[in-house]
A and B are shown apart, each in its own frame.
Chain A
């Protein structure tokens, strides 16, 4: 009977030079992934703040439309959404032909925006009403009260959950590539595999790249979160810690 090979001998059997020779494909793909993700994250942030404010402040019509938009996007698969945007809209009755790049970031903005609307709604609703009253009492208009009081505080409350959404946006760019032939990281790996048949090396490398990107991003984000956390939250946490130590 053939002895079962272990993981180390499996890795040793890879031809790593093949990956090194094709590093440009991976780097171009990674660059495209980052481009799409950054555009999509910026868009999702904007959509989330505007619609989240509309939901939290119960602005008539906008609030109801935003609620429908959120439910529709959250309850349908993103892959069907991207097919609809790229293959569906290009046909009658709309005949809107988008490039793969535009369709890709547009879908991600729509998808991330829906999740972000919920994140920011929760954040803005968590801002105590007396803070807004204080802003109004200082003579700020409603918009200025929002920009100076609700957004800085509620935005920071919403930060952890909205950041999770941004990481998901980056991860979802991976399925948009193979779906509509957008040459981002996963599609590059996929097309390299279809000409070279070296699936193991290619997909193993792909997985490692994604894990490094996602883990580094999560680490940076946690640091940013700690830095931007409301001073109040920090104080509460230390008080609790002190309490536990006392017990």
Chain B
């Protein structure tokens, strides 16, 4: 009964286009940057707990720069500025967006990891050392498994933030969900045969909002659940 009212004739092609052209890029960017951020962030955050000043300074700088810059400025730097430097680094736009998100995300994870690793009591380090573990073994087998439990809620929040921030790729012309939706709004507003001379921006952008809400809300609930259960 409700379904015909929610799916007018024009909506079918729009829906299919966003799903077929937009969603793959959103998923690719989100997947790459979540994995990249988690791996780089955990390594940098663990190294940050070592009391070696030059290393600490470098990682601090990395964190402060990528957390301090608005994400869109990072994306512009990577996608537009890097190809023009003497390095001539050129990426496909979605790869550039994924790299930008990874820089930002890994800085967030590094900061969270530092807190989690430092929250493990010193006795755990000492006990592991007493058993003959070196620095690497101590961290891999004793400290990090405990720290990762405390890291789980921030990692889930990171996943939510990364999924939401994939939309910024639309501003560097990656055909992800939002960009595809915008193309469809503009197509429908154009005169026939391409479009219908109709304005459906309200409905389409509302649908994109609903899409992101449906994906993010369960994940934020999950993060809250982990926060209650694991700490």
Residues of A at under 8 Å CB distance from B?
4-5, 9-10, 13, 71-72, 74-81, 83-84, 87-94, 171-172, 174-175, 178-179, 186, 189-190, 193, 197-200, 202-204, 206-207, 210-211, 214-215, 218
- Whether B171 lies near A210 (C-beta < 8 A) is no
Nearest residue (CB) in A for B186 is A87
Nearest residue (CB) in B for A172 is B70
B contact face: mostly helix, strand, loop, or mixed:
helix
Beyond A9-B86, A77-B164, A83-B178, is A174–B213 a contact (Cβ under 8 Å)? Answer: no
Q: Mark B195-220, 1 if CB is under 8 A from A, else 0.
A: 00001111011101100110011001
Nearest residue (CB) in B for A89 is B202
By a CB distance below 8 angstroms, the chain B residues around A211 are 65, 68-69
- Whether A80 lies near B76 (C-beta < 8 A) is no
Nearest residue (CB) in B for A170 is B70
Beyond A9-B86, A79-B178, A90-B201, is A84–B68 a contact (Cβ under 8 Å)? Answer: no
In this assembly, does B102 line the interface, its C-beta being within 8 Å of a C-beta of chain A? no
Bound CA–CA A94/B160 (angstroms): 30
Query: Of A5, A90, A203, which contacts B80 at CB under 8 A?
Result: A203
Nearest residue (CB) in A for B68 is A214
Minimum CB–CB distance from B89 to chain A (whole Å) comes to 11
- Whether B70 lies near A186 (C-beta < 8 A) is yes
Nearest residue (CB) in B for A175 is B72
In this assembly, does B27 line the interface, its C-beta being within 8 Å of a C-beta of chain A? no
Residues of B at under 8 Å CB distance from A?
64-65, 68-74, 76-77, 80-81, 83-87, 160, 164-165, 167-168, 170-171, 178, 182, 185, 199-202, 204-206, 208-209, 212-213, 216-217, 220
A contact face: mostly helix, strand, loop, or mixed:
helix
Beyond A5-B87, A87-B205, is A80–B167 a contact (Cβ under 8 Å)? Answer: yes
Minimum CB–CB distance from B118 to chain A (whole Å) comes to 14
By a CB distance below 8 angstroms, the chain B residues around A172 are 70
Minimum CB–CB distance from A240 to chain B (whole Å) comes to 16
- Whether A80 lies near B72 (C-beta < 8 A) is no
Beyond A76-B213, A79-B168, A175-B72, is A200–B206 a contact (Cβ under 8 Å)? Answer: no
Nearest residue (CB) in A for B212 is A76
Query: Of B81, B167, B178, B202, which contacts A88 at CB under 8 A?
Result: B202
- Whether A92 lies near B81 (C-beta < 8 A) is no
Bound CA–CA A9/B86 (angstroms): 9
Minimum CB–CB distance from A219 to chain B (whole Å) comes to 11
Minimum CB–CB distance from B231 to chain A (whole Å) comes to 16
19 contacts between A and B (CB under 8 A): A4-B87, A10-B87, A72-B209, A75-B160, A75-B213, A75-B217, A76-B209, A79-B168, A80-B167, A80-B205, A80-B212, A88-B202, A197-B84, A199-B83, A200-B85, A204-B77, A207-B69, A215-B64, A218-B68
- Whether A81 lies near B81 (C-beta < 8 A) is no
- Whether A84 lies near B205 (C-beta < 8 A) is yes
Bound CA–CA A215/B81 (angstroms): 23
Bound CA–CA A204/B64 (angstroms): 16
Minimum CB–CB distance from A113 to chain B (whole Å) comes to 17
Nearest residue (CB) in A for B71 is A175
Minimum CB–CB distance from B204 to chain A (whole Å) comes to 8
Leading 8 A-B pairs by shortest Cβ distance: A174-B70, A75-B216, A77-B164, A88-B205, A91-B199, A203-B81, A171-B70, A84-B205
By a CB distance below 8 angstroms, the chain A residues around B199 are 91-92
Beyond A175-B171, A190-B76, is A76–B70 a contact (Cβ under 8 Å)? Answer: no
